[in-house]
Chains A and B, each alone.
Chain A
Amino acid sequence: MNGEPLLEIKDLHVGYKTHMGISHVLNGVHLTVHKGERVGVIGESGSGKTTTMKSILRILPSNAIIKKGEIVYNGKDVLKMSNEELLTIRRKKISMIFQDPTSALNPLFKIGQIMLDIIKYSYNLEEKDAKEMALKALKEAALPDPERVFDSYPFQLSGGMRQRVCIALALIGERELIIADEPTTNLDVTIKAQVLNLLTDLVKKKNVGWIFVSQALGAVRENVDRVYVMYAGNIIEWGPSEKVFSNPLHPYTQKLLECVPKLTGKEFAKGIRGRIPNYFHPPSGCRFHPRCDYIMDNCKKNIPEPVEVEHEHFVSCYLYHRR
C-alpha cells in the first residue's frame, strides 16, 4: 500500500490494574490502515483485539494503563490529543460497530430519535436536514422501508436489521475509519452474509478505512485486503489477506487455520495444546513459545523481530530468521 497511512499504531503496550496485580495484555501491538483500506484483525478471545480497538478511540475502562506506544491518526497522536480534538474524532472521523446490536441501541428510544440525536449533536443540523440525512443513511444500509424503520423501536426490528441500523449510524457523514468489532458474531448464517456484504460494499463505495475484528476466519478472508494475526497481545503475522490465508507462516497461524472445520470434510487439527497465557505472568520472549512445536532457545529469551518472507507478508518468528 502506498501513500500516507490514515492510522498507525506503534508499539502499543496496555495493561489492566486488578486486585491480583497488573495484567499485561498488549505487548507491543502495531497496525497500519491506509485511506480506504480494509484491514482484518484475527485472533482468539482474550488475545487483546478489543483492547487494541478501544485504545484507538480511548474508550478503555478506567483501570487500563497505557504504558507505552503511539496511535497516530492523520499525523497526530490520539493518546496525546486534547479532549476537544478527541471529541471531533469520535463524532466525525472514526466510528465503531459493536458485537451486540441489541445493547448498542437504547431500547427506550425510537431508531429515528437515536439517529437524530447523534446527527444533531455531531453536525449542528436543523431537524429537517438531520432527518433527511438519517433516512439516506438507512436507505444506504439496504433497510427496506427506511421510513418505517425510522419510526420503530429497536425491539421491533430483527437482529440483522438492528445491526444494519448500527452500520447506517456508523457510516453517517464523512467518516474516514470504521472499526467493526465482531459485527456479525450474533447473527444467523444467511443474515451474517447479507450484513457483511453490505458492510464491504459500503466501505468500498465510500472509500473509508475499515478495521474488521473477528474470530470468524473465513469471513475475514473474504472481505479484507490485509490481515493481522494477533496472539496474546502481539501481532505475530501480517500481510495481504490471500497470502496469509493460503500460506500461513507463523506456527500459531498455521495451527489456527488447521483447526477450522472445512466444508470439504477434510480432517482438521486436534486443537492447539495448552491455553492462552496468563497475562499477570506472561511467558518471556515470544509469548507463543510454551505452545509451539518448533521451539528454540532464542524463543524464550527475546521477542522475534518481524521478517518480510514474501512481498509485504511479515512474520514475527525465529523460524524465519535463519534463512
Chain B
Amino acid sequence: MENEYILEIRNLKKYFPTPYGTVKAVDNISLKVKKGTTMGLVGESGSGKSTTGHVVVGLFPPTDGKILFKGQDISMPLERRPKNLKRDIQMVFQDPASSLNPKKIIRDIVGLPLKVHGMVSSREEMEEKVSKLLEMVELPPEDFLYRKPTDLGGGEKQAVSIARAIATNPSFVIFDEPTSALDVSIQAKIINAILNIQKEFRLSSLFITHDLSLMRNISSYVAIMYLGKICEMAPTETFFQKPLHPYTQMLLSSVPVLTKEEEELKPKGIKSVGEIGSPINPPSGCRFHPRCPFATEICKKKEPKLVEVEPEHYVACHLYSSE
C-alpha cells in the first residue's frame, strides 16, 4: 500500500551549540504532511520554523529524531543522502538577494539542477527546458535567459528561485518565507505562481511563514510553532473557525486586517503582551506561560503534551488536556 504521508517528522530535535549555551531551535516536534497538500508552518522569530525546513532539506543533520520521506528514513547528513532524494526535495529560500549567484546568468542558475541530475544532454536542450520553466513563473525567457540576478527586482529573483526549485520536477518543495521581503503586489504575483505550480505538478510542500493571512490562502494544514515547539496543528479551515491555543489566539488577534469580515475572525479581547523568550533558556513548563493570560501553576511546571481535541486538531495546552 502506498504511504498516505509524503513527509513524516518524528520527535525531531535540532540543537546548536553556541558560546552562550545550547540553542534549542527545534525541540521535539512531530508532524506529517499528506501527499498533495501544503502544510503551513507558522511562527515568529526563534520558533524554529526555518530550522525545521533546513533540517528536512538536509542542510543540517538532526540532533535527534527521525524524518521519513515517502516512508524512507532521510535523517542522514546531506552528503550521504541518495542523489534521487536531492532531486525530489527542493527548497526556495527567504532572501531573494542571496538566493541567486550574482556572477551567473539565469540560464545557468536554473539549469544547474538539470545538469547535476543529468536531465539535459546539450546546451540547447538546457536552454529549451529553462525557457519552459521561466515561462511557468511568468518571466519571458527571451528577456531573462541571459541576464544576471543583479539586474532583477526582488520579485523576479524569487520567481527565478522557484523556477530553479521545480526544475527537476520534485514531489516536495519547502518554501521558506518566499515573499517576506517583497511588496504586496509582487507578493501576489509570486504566490499565484506558486499556487499554479502546486496544482500543475501536484506538489506537496511545507510553506514556512509568519503571515497568517497568507498561510490561510495557500495551505491545507497549519502548524503553529513557538520557541521550538508545536503548540497547535489543524486543518486550515478548522483552525480558523476555532483557534484553541492562547498563543494562537494572540497571534491571530495581532494580525492587522483590511476588512470587517476579517475582523470577525480575530479573537476578541485578547491583547498581545510580553516578549518572546530566548531559545537558549526557554521558560519552564509551557514555554508560553509568561505571556499567557490563562496561565496557572501547572503551566509553569509541566510541559503540556500535544493532544487531539477533535479529529485532526491538536493542541498543546493544559486548558485542553483531560488530566
Contacts and interface: CB of A to CB of B under 8 A. Distances in A.
A215 B183 contact: yes
A311 interface: no
Contacts of B254: 189-190, 192-193
B218 to A, nearest CB: 8
Interface stretch (A123-131, A265-273, A302-310): A265-273
Contact of B217 (A194, A219, A268): A268
Interface stretch (A133-141, A202-210, A254-262): A254-262
B35 interface: no
Contacts of B255: 189, 218, 263
A217 interface: yes
Contact of A271 (B192, B236, B273, B275): B192
A271 B185 contact: yes
A263 B212 contact: yes
B272 A265 contact: no
A264 B265 contact: yes
Interface residues of A, number: 42
Nearest to A221: B258
Contacts of A255: 185
A129 B34 CA distance: 64
Contacts of B217: 261-262, 265, 267-268
Q: Please report whether the interface of chain B is mostly helix, strand, loop or mixed according to DSSP.
A: helix
The residue among B45, B187, B259, B266 with the most chain A CB atoms within 10 A of its own CB is B259
B272 A191 contact: yes
A45 interface: yes
A136 to B, nearest CB: 22
A194 B272 contact: yes
The residue among B216, B236, B253 with the most chain A CB atoms within 10 A of its own CB is B216
Interface string B204-218: 000000111110110
Contacts of B184: 44, 215, 217, 256, 259-260
The residue among A218, A219, A246, A258 with the most chain B CB atoms within 10 A of its own CB is A218
B183 A189 contact: no
A-B interface, 4 closest residue pairs, ranked by CB to CB distance from nearest: A218-B256, A271-B189, A193-B254, A259-B188
